Each structure stands twice: as structure tokens, then as C-alpha cells.
Chains A and B, each alone.
Chain A
Amino acid sequence: MARLVSIIGTTHNPFMPRLFAQPNRPPGCAAVEERTAMLRERLRRAEPDVILAIGNDHLNQFFMDNMPAFLIGKMERYPGTFYNEVREFGLPTCELRGDVTLSRRLLEGALDHGVDVAYSDELRIDHSIVVPLLWLRPALDLPVVPLLTNCIAPPLPRPRRFYQVGQILRAVVDQLPGDQRVAAVVSGHLSLEIGGPKQMEPRLVDPAFDRRAVGWLARGDLDEACANTSFDQLKQSGNMTHGFLNFLLAAGLANGQRPVHAEGLEVGFPAVPMFAWEPEAVA
């Protein structure tokens, strides 16, 4: 049987790679690097064969002419990053190998379990997938199956749905034939504002939200998490805080189990989420 061997949740802040390379970088960068190294090591020790890479497209690949709620890529190879991300963030372009068989199995399994997930045979992945992989698996040597969510163009799927989709994907992985070791790398945010009056402050956007949100996940309190993360509720903590919803999907992948690490790092810019779950093997 296939196994989900690790779930990592972290930031996809696209400014970080360039910021961290500067000589006069914020003093908190070292702490981020130290935690990232810890997560990278957890991922390495889990010895995955393939990465289920979960993030939210930023109106790069998808747009309001045809906006999927959840979408799985099923390609042999995925080009990474868009022109505007290279221009604005200085991100590299890249190419990631896919795993079409696993993509198809996850798609079919999700459909069988009542999630009408969309798919794509022509997908370019943006920083929500590329940045966490550059931090956590810099060699980019493992095949990926990208799963993209809509956290940016309302109306969004409801918080409970993010959690349910995670649970269903977990059930699908647990029932896959073969002995593939699957790791999930999930990216998102704590409180965040982009394109509004509170953007680019050298501090947390909403420290009270960050503490509560990390606490929900740390305690496995998904009822509380789902009850407090509607579109309008999240918007109160920063206009792009909705990326937090991806961590509800991560908690669903963990079947509500508590993470072994849960933290929002305060380092002189919006909080840097760091989560890790060690999923228990299904007997």
C-alpha cells in the first residue's frame, strides 16, 4: 500500500529568496533558515518517492473567466514561474517532473469520493508551489503532483471543504496500490496583506490572529478553525490571509491528528508559518 509519510506546511512568500540573499537582511532571517532546515530534514528523513505539492495559484494560471475551486495537474513536466514573478520577485524559472499515474489515481479517487476536482494538461505553476520546494527540496529531484486551490478569487470554497478535501485525499492515498511513499508540501499564509494599506509593514499584520490560527492547528481544533475562517472573517486580519485555508487542507490530510511542529515565526515581516505532521501509518 502507498503511504503518506510526511506533511509539511510552510510559507510561499515570494519575496523571501531575494530578501534572504541581501547583505542587510532582517535579523530574523536566521531563525527562518534554521526552522526551514528542520522541515527540510523531516522531509528528507521521510524518504518520499513523490511530492503532492499543494498551493494556491495567484491569478497567474487561472482567472475569473474559468476559476477552479480545486485542480490537479496531470502532466509529465510542469514549467514553473511566470514572467511577472521573475520581474517582481526575482524568482528563477524551473521545470518539475510530474507523476501522471499518481495524478490520475488521485483524480479518479477524489471523484469517487465526491470531490469534483478539475484537472489540467497545460499548467504552469507559480510561486505557491515553486518557493516552498526551493526551500524544502532545493534539488527539485522528486516528481510532483500539483494541487491548486482557490484562495484568491471569491467566492472561495468554504473552510470545512478545505479540510474535507484533505481528508478525502488522505483516504485516496491510503488506498492506492503499490508501495509509493508520498509526502505533502502545503503552502499558505498566516495574516497577510498585499495590495492594501497594511502591505509591506516590517511587522506581523495581525499577531492575535496568527496566535489563534497556530493554536487551532496545534491543538487539532478544526471545528474552531473552520468556524473562524470564512472569507469575511479572514479579510479582517489582512486582505490576503485566505492562504491560511490551505493549512486546513493539510490538517485534513493528517486526519485531524496534531502536528509535531506548529509555529508562526515573527521575524520582521508577515508571520512565517511552519507546520509538520507525521502521519500515522494505516494498519
Chain B
Amino acid sequence: MSKYYVDKFMRLVNQQEWAEKAYVRDPAAFVAQWEEGEGRPLSDDERDALVRRDYAKLYALGAHPFLLWSFTEAVWVHEVPRDELVRDYKAKTAAVGYPDFTT
């Protein structure tokens, strides 16, 4: 488990417009390039969840919820109406409960 690096990745995408755009354009390539620079810290599950922009999985893995919602909105809202995204996020996280997000 490398929650810290998942959070670090989400924060980069949240805060840097270039990263947000590069990630949305080609998630697999952007994750691979970023991870190379970090020394490949992610677990297979974490890498797979980031490549698929799978917010439910990231939540279950203990991603920081404050970062995760902001990240989810940034990378999905251009494809899914916000209200629908909020509903889906709430439903999927409700099924998981409250994972420990302590790094």
C-alpha cells in the first residue's frame, strides 16, 4: 500500500492544469511516466485504479477523501454531468464505508 503516493499523484493533477490535461488525455501513459520519476511506488491495485480513473476503488484503497473528490471532479466533470457524478460517487463510497485514509 502506498497511499501517500496516490495522494501525491491526485494533488499534482488537482493543482497543475498541464497535469490534469495530460492525465485525462492518456491516463495510462501519464501514470506510467509519473511513476517512473517516483521510483514506481504504487501497488498494482493503485496503479490500475489511477489508470482507470476509478474513484470508488481509490476511495476503498484509502485515498484522502478531500483530495479524491476534487480529483474526481477535475477528471470526470467534462464527461459526466456534475449532479450525476456526485450521485454516483456517493453511492459507490457508501458501499465501502469509511476506510482509513491515514498515510
| Contact status A240-B74, CB under 8 Å | no
With contacts A82-B15, A235-B98 known, is A88 near B74, CB below 8 A?
yes
Most buried by B among A59, A154, A198, A235: A59
Output the least CB separation between B97 and chain A (Å): 8
Interface size on B, residues (CB 8 A): 28
- Given the complex, which residues of A lie within 8 Å of B14, measured CB to CB? 84
- Given the complex, which residues of A lie within 8 Å of B7, measured CB to CB? 59, 63-64
Distance between Cα atoms of A200 and B16 in the complex (Å): 25
B69-91 interface (Cβ within 8 A of A)? 69-70, 73-74, 86, 89-91
A157-197 interface (Cβ within 8 A of B)? 194-197
Distance between Cα atoms of A240 and B69 in the complex (Å): 12
Inter-chain CB contacts under 8 Å: number: 64
| Contact status B93-A197, CB under 8 Å | yes
Interface of chain B: mostly helix, strand, loop or mixed: helix
| Contact status B66-A64, CB under 8 Å | no
Decide if B43 is an interface residue (CB 8 Å cutoff).
no
| Contact status A84-B15, CB under 8 Å | yes
| Contact status A87-B74, CB under 8 Å | yes
Decide if A58 is an interface residue (CB 8 Å cutoff).
yes
Distance between Cα atoms of A123 and B90 in the complex (Å): 34
Choice from A87, A195, A200 contacting B65 with Cβ under 8 Å: A195
Scan B1-39; emit 1 where CB is below 8 A from any A CB, else 0: 000100110010011110000000000000000000000
Distance between Cα atoms of A235 and B8 in the complex (Å): 23
Decide if A114 is an interface residue (CB 8 Å cutoff).
no
A228-264 interface (Cβ within 8 A of B)? 235, 239-240
Decide if B67 is an interface residue (CB 8 Å cutoff).
yes
With contacts A59-B67, A64-B103, A194-B65 known, is A83 near B17, CB below 8 A?
yes
| Contact status B65-A83, CB under 8 Å | no
Decide if A60 is an interface residue (CB 8 Å cutoff).
yes
Most buried by B among A58, A196, A239: A196
Most buried by A among B7, B15, B74, B91: B15
| Contact status B70-A152, CB under 8 Å | no
Distance between Cα atoms of A88 and B73 in the complex (Å): 8
Choice from A84, A152, A197 contacting B74 with Cβ under 8 Å: A84
Distance between Cα atoms of A235 and B101 in the complex (Å): 11
Closest to B87 in A: A200
With contacts A64-B7, A154-B102, A235-B98 known, is A199 near B74, CB below 8 A?
no
Scan B30-54; emit 1 where CB is below 8 A from any A CB, else 0: 0000000000000000000000000
| Additional A-B contact list (7), CB under 8 Å, known A194-B65, A195-B66 | A58-B66, A63-B7, A84-B14, A84-B70, A88-B70, A154-B102, A196-B98
What are 5 A-B pairs with beta-carbon distances under 8 A?
Answer: A82-B15, A87-B74, A195-B64, A239-B65, A239-B98
Residues in B lying within 8 Å of A, measured CB to CB? 4, 7-8, 11, 14-17, 59, 64-70, 73-74, 86, 89-91, 93-94, 98, 101-103
Residues in A lying within 8 Å of B, measured CB to CB? 58-60, 63-65, 82-84, 87-88, 152-155, 194-200, 235, 239-240
